[in-house]
Amino acid sequence: MIDLTMLAYCIPGLLLVLALIFSGRNKFPANDAVLNTFSIIHAFYLLGLTFVVLFGAKLPVYFMEGRYFAIDRLSLYEILIATIVFCLSAIYARGYIRDLLNIGEIERTNTRLFYGAFNLLFTVIVLSFLANNVALYWIFLELTTLLSALLIIILKARENITASLKYVFIASSAMLFSFIGIIILYA
């Protein structure tokens, strides 16, 4: 069970994103209720998996010879908080996207992109908590910045592009300074 735990955290989100990409190529209709249901299932699946690992596994568990990924009680606590937030966000997103579609703020074709970025953001955040390497953790945090910016850009308002670019610039600048600090700390 322990060897498959890392895959159990990664595979559902990545499969969901791949399914959304390939369904876009086949021109399947983007039903936002179905996409939202998959997001809710994904969030509750990881919530349940976190409880199973927390109470059923002997911790800490190291993956890839302990260099890159590890599961310990602190990472499970962080994942537990993130999954609760994403469960609530996925439930809220159903009405949010429906309202955005009704007022014309988002196009129906972009709901697939929204839910793909939403679930990929969730998966990347979970992987960042499992990272046992500072550089890998930093890479995952930068990916969360880009995916968050994508979620902002999806909306039609022109101001969102400016806001997203400002967000990426400020967050990346802060991440750069933190990375320089990490390099100085470990040098």
Query: How far is it, in rounded angstroms, from Cα 130 to Cα 12?
Result: 16
- Note the pLDDT of residue 19: 76
Tens digit of each residue's pLDDT, the chain (187 residues): 456 787 888 888 888 778 777 776 555 556 888 889 989 999 999 999 999 999 988 888 888 776 789 999 999 999 999 999 999 999 999 999 999 999 988 888 888 889 989 999 999 999 999 999 888 898 999 999 999 999 989 888 788 888 888 989 999 898 889 889 888 987 7
* Residue 77 pLDDT: 96
Provide the 8-state DSSP code for 29: -
Of 89, 88, 108, the residue nearest 98 (C-alpha): 108
DSSP 8-state class, residue 69: E
Q: Quick one: which of 14, 5, 86 has its CA closest to 50?
A: 5
Query: Which pLDDT does position 25 carry in this prediction?
Result: 59
Residue 64: the pLDDT is 76
Q: What is the pTM of this model?
A: 0.88
Can you give the pLDDT at residue 29? 56
Residue 134's CB is within 10 A of a number of other CB atoms, namely 13
**Beta-carbon neighbour count of residue 150 at 10 Å?**
18
- Extract the tokens encoding 61: 């568990």
The 8 Å CB, 24+ separation contacts for 178-187 are 178/138, 179/138, 182/134, 182/138, 186/134
